[in-house]
Amino acid sequence: MGEAPDLLRNDGSGLRCDLGGFWIDPWGPVKRAVVTHAHADHARGGSERYIPTAETAAFMRARSSAELPFDTVAYGEPFRLGDVEVSLHPAGHVLGSAQVLLRPDSGPTWCVTGDYKIEPDATCAAFEQQRCDVLVTECTFGLPIFRWRPDEEVVREINAWRAENAESGRTSVLLGYALGKAQRVLASLDASIGPIGVHGSVRTVCDVYEGHGVSFPEHVHANAESAPDLRGVGTIVAPPSAHGGPGQRRLASAGGMRTAMVSGWMSLRGRRRWRGTDRGFVLSDHADWGGLLETIERSGATRVLATHGYASQLARFLRESRGMDAAVLPTRFGDADDDDGERVKAVDG
C-alpha cells in the first residue's frame, strides 16, 4: 500500500484539508476558510464561509464593505469539519490570532501556527504551545541574525526618544502596522511625556481592541483639530503608509518632527533608513530565531514544514544541524526573498 497523503496540501487557492473540506488562510475564494488572523495576507475576501476567532471576525467586518459569513469559535473549543477535529489556540501575534490544531480521525496531529510570537504583551492573548506530530511554522524572521531584545528595553528607548523630542519642541511620529503593531506601541507609551494622537486607520482598529477589553493610554484622533495640541510636544502613532502624507508635512513645516519605524526589520541596517525615517526601533510581532527553534522543540513534532519567510533556510538548518525531517511548504507568500512576500512582511514585522 502507498503512503497516506498529507493532511494539508497547497491546491493553488491555499492550504487545503481534503478530509475536512476546508482551507487555512486561503489566498483565493473557497467554500470554507479557517482564518488564523486578520492581516491581509491571511484573511482574504470572497469565500463562502469563514471560521475565525470573534476578534478576527470583528477586524474583518470593520474593513469590509460586504457582509461576511462567520462561524466564530473560542480558543480551545474543538469543532468538527468532516473527518477532522479542529481547535484554535492563541498565537500571541495580534488580538485574536490563532494557531490551528488538526486532529484527524486517524493519522498524525498537525498544527499550523499562522504568524506568532512567544513573548507575551498586553494587547493580545499569550502564545500557547501546542504538541503535534507535524508542525507548520511561519518563519518570517527565520535566520540566526534575528534575535530580539527584551520588550521593556525597547519600550524604554521609545519613551526616552519621545521625551528628547518633546524637550526640543519636535513632534514624535511612530510608524507601525495599523493592526497589531500600532496598538502594541500605543499601549506602551508613557502618557506623562506628552499628548498622544493616533491616525484614523489606527483609531478604527483601536476601537475593536477596546471593545474586547484592551486598554490604552488617553489619546485623541490625530487630525487638523487636534494638531495644535500635538505639535511640538506630542506623539502620533500612524501606519507606514501615512509617512510623508499631508498631515505629517503640516507638522514638519510648523515646528519640526521626528519619525521612527517600529518593526523587526529595523534590525537590518539597510531597513533602518526605510523611507527616510529618523530612527528604527526593533520590536516584532513575530518569533525570532530563538523563538522559532524553541517552539519547534517544545512541539514534539517529528516533521516540520516551514512557510511564510526564510523557509528554505530554516528547513535546511533543521535537517543539517538537528537531523529533523524538515521541508518547505510553498504558499503564495513564500521565502523572504520573494518580492511579493517581502513587500507584505515589510510592514507586518
What does the pLDDT read at residue 273?
59
Cα(first)–Cα(last) distance of the chain, in Å? 45
**Is 49's pLDDT higher than 70?**
yes
Largest CA distance in the chain: 75
- On average, the pLDDT of the chain sits at 91
Domains of the chain, CATH where assigned: 9-146+285-346 (3.60.15.10), 151-281 (3.40.50.10890)
Distance from the Cα of residue 289 to its chain's centroid:
16
What does the pLDDT read at residue 4?
65
What does the pLDDT read at residue 330?
87
Distance between CA atoms of residues 259 and 279, nearest Å: 6
**Is 253's pLDDT higher than 60?**
no
Residues 52-91: tens digit of each pLDDT: 999 999 999 998 877 889 999 999 999 999 999 999 999 9
Q: What is the pTM of this model?
A: 0.92
Residues 132-168: tens digit of each pLDDT: 999 999 999 999 999 999 999 999 999 999 999 999 9
Residues 265-302: tens digit of each pLDDT: 999 876 655 667 899 999 999 999 999 999 999 999 99
**Could you please report the per-residue DSSP string of 14-69?**
SEEETTTTEEES-SS--S-EE-S--STTT--S--S-EE--HHHHHHHHHH-SS---
The percent of residues above 90 in pLDDT, for the chain, comes to: 83
* Three-state secondary structure call for residue 80: strand
The percent of residues above 70 in pLDDT, for the chain, comes to: 89
**Is 338's pLDDT higher than 80?**
no
**Is 249's pLDDT higher than 90?**
no
